[in-house]
């Protein structure tokens, strides 16, 4: 088959959609299919085009056998809604123009949402190229924007809800990252043909590793402390202020919190931590995905925090699966689907979202467990993802589903 993946986010950027779509594309190529990715010039999460791509309107390269066509985008370093919209629509337009001339006729066009606005390009290209459209929904928009306080009731919201329904109507298949998203899609357009395509993990990349003392020293992580790690986006959805409060509560304990990653809230979080005089928490830059497996091995436990909004009751953060694959016990700060999965894995404790007191208690409880007990939790997590969330198997399932159409 000939397949096109349309997404604003793709490696060398780091992030859940980037990793998931790259893994999917390369596995489809390994199965003998032709895959082209149409994406933006790398700029996430800093809002700056990566140096090697600056000054280019179009750039084509090959990553793991996948042809990647990159389009111009006007990135945004600001968090304002207007700046974000300008960023989104700059790629919507450039991808439509470049896709019109550069993309061949294909069997399927798989469009990643959010951003929902990329659906304009997906509808246009699927029509002119006579290609079947598949929407891959990793977050329900505009509902998530409403719950995060980014948009309120009015004509704009009404239009976005209409457009969301139109995309489901025009798609031969709507793939969804969680059961909650499946339910949400069906609620908006009951006739939609949905497919659960959950987050998973590359079991070859994320493996149990022996802690590297040299790496620990390089990162300045103290030797004689219980290490609590976090790796991922520093945005509204993660509500990382709860972790700062936990650091304050545990300030007199031998517990060190290491936060890896970038995002729009990071600068404010670092400033608040500094002003609070917190010495038991440190922020680190985003790391190459290949290195995160080694970094995770330095942690005694990890955190998977979420904001306390109803939408996230259906969330399954991808970092959960990476931690399980690396045999790292973790604390899930959330409710609903993700919390149930975390408990089922045997690798995690669950606390309510945005409840620093409960989170601090859970950290203390796990720190008092013997290393053998924590190791047993990790072993259960690894077994859990091998059986149910192996990305190799998930890619085959997706391919088999497409062949039905």
Mean pLDDT of the chain: 93
Please identify, in words, the CATH class of the domain defined by 2-200+390-402. alpha beta
CB-CB contact of 39 with 8 (8 Å): yes
pLDDT for residue 149 is more than 80: no
Higher pLDDT, 46 or 210: 210
CB-CB contact of 294 with 212 (8 Å): yes
Task: Work out the average pLDDT over 232-246.
Answer: 93
Residue 312 confidence (pLDDT):
87
Residue 171 confidence (pLDDT):
98
Could you give the CA distance from residue 47 to residue 397 in angstroms, rounded to a whole number?
35
Give the model confidence (pLDDT) of 79-131 as tens digits.
Answer: 677 888 889 999 999 999 999 999 999 999 999 999 999 999 999 999 999 99
Task: Work out the average pLDDT over 62-84.
Answer: 88
Q: Which helix (H) or strand (E) holds 392?
A: helix 391-402
Could you give the CA distance from residue 192 to residue 171 in angstroms, rounded to a whole number?
8
Residue 81 confidence (pLDDT):
76
pLDDT band at 44 (very low <50, low <70, confident <90, very high): confident
pLDDT band at 343 (very low <50, low <70, confident <90, very high): very high
Residues of the chain with CATH 3.40.50.2000: 2-200+390-402, 213-388
Residues of the chain with pLDDT > 70: what percent? 100
Residue 79 confidence (pLDDT):
67
CB-CB contact of 239 with 305 (8 Å): yes
HEC profile of 75-119: CCCCCCHHHHHHHHHHHHHHHHHHHHHHCCCCCEEEEEECCCCHH
The SS3 of residue 227 is strand
Q: What is the DSSP string of 280-323?
A: SEEEE----HHHHHHHHTT-SEEEEE--S-GGGGG---HHHHHH
Higher pLDDT, 350 or 15: 350
Please identify, in words, the CATH class of the domain defined by 213-388. alpha beta
Give the model confidence (pLDDT) of 119-132 as tens digits.
Answer: 999 999 999 999 99
Task: Work out the average pLDDT over 51-77.
Answer: 93
Give the model confidence (pLDDT) of 275-318 as tens digits.
Answer: 999 999 999 998 887 788 899 999 999 999 999 988 788 888 98
Task: Work out the average pLDDT over 380-396.
Answer: 95
Could you give the CA distance from residue 36 to residue 104 in angstroms, rounded to a whole number?
9
């Amino acid at each position: 088959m000939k397949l096109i993946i349309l997404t604003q986010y793709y490696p060398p950027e780091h992030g859940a959609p980037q990793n998931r779509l790259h893994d999917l594309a390369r596995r489809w190529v390994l199965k003998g299919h032709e895959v082209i990715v149409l994406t933006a010039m790398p700029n996430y999460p800093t809002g700056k085009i990566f140096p090697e791509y600056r000054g280019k309107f179009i750039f084509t390269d090959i990553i793991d056998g996948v042809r990647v066509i990159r389009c111009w985008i006007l990135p945004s370093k600001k968090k304002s809604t207007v700046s974000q919209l300008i960023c989104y629509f700059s790629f919507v337009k450039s991808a439509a123009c470049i896709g019109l001339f550069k993309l061949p006729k294909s069997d399927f066009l798989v469009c990643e949402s959010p951003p929902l606005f990329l659906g304009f390009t997906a509808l246009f290209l699927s029509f002119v190229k006579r290609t079947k459209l598949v929407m891959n929904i990793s977050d329900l928009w505009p509902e998530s924007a409403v719950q995060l306080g980014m948009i309120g009731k009015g004509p704009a919201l009404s239009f976005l809800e209409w457009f969301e329904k139109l995309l489901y109507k025009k798609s031969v298949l709507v793939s969804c990252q969680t059961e909650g998203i499946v339910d949400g899609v069906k609620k908006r357009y009951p006739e939609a043909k949905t497919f659960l395509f959950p987050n998973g993990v590359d079991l070859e990349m994320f493996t149990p590793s022996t802690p590297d003392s040299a790496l620990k020293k390089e990162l300045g992580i103290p030797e004689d402390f219980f290490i609590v790690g976090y790796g991922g986006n520093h945005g509204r959805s993660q509500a990382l202020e709860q972790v700062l409060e936990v650091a304050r509560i545990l300030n007199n304990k031998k517990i060190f919190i290491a936060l890896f990653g970038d995002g729009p809230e990071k600068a404010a979080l670092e400033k608040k931590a500094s002003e609070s005089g917190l010495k038991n928490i440190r922020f680190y830059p985003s790391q190459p995905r290949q290195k995160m497996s080694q970094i995770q091995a330095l942690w005694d436990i990890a955190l998977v925090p979420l904001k306390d909004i109803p939408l996230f009751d259906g969330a399954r953060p991808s970092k959960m699966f990476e931690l399980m694959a690396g045999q790292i016990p973790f604390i899930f700060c959330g409710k609903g689907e993700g919390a149930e999965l975390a408990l089922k894995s045997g690798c995690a404790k669950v606390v309510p979202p945005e409840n620093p007191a409960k989170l601090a208690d859970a950290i203390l409880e796990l720190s008092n467990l013997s290393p053998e007990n924590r190791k047993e939790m990790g072993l259960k997590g690894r077994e859990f993802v091998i059986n149910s969330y192996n990305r190799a198997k998930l890619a085959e399932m997706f391919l088999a589903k497409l062949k039905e159409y």
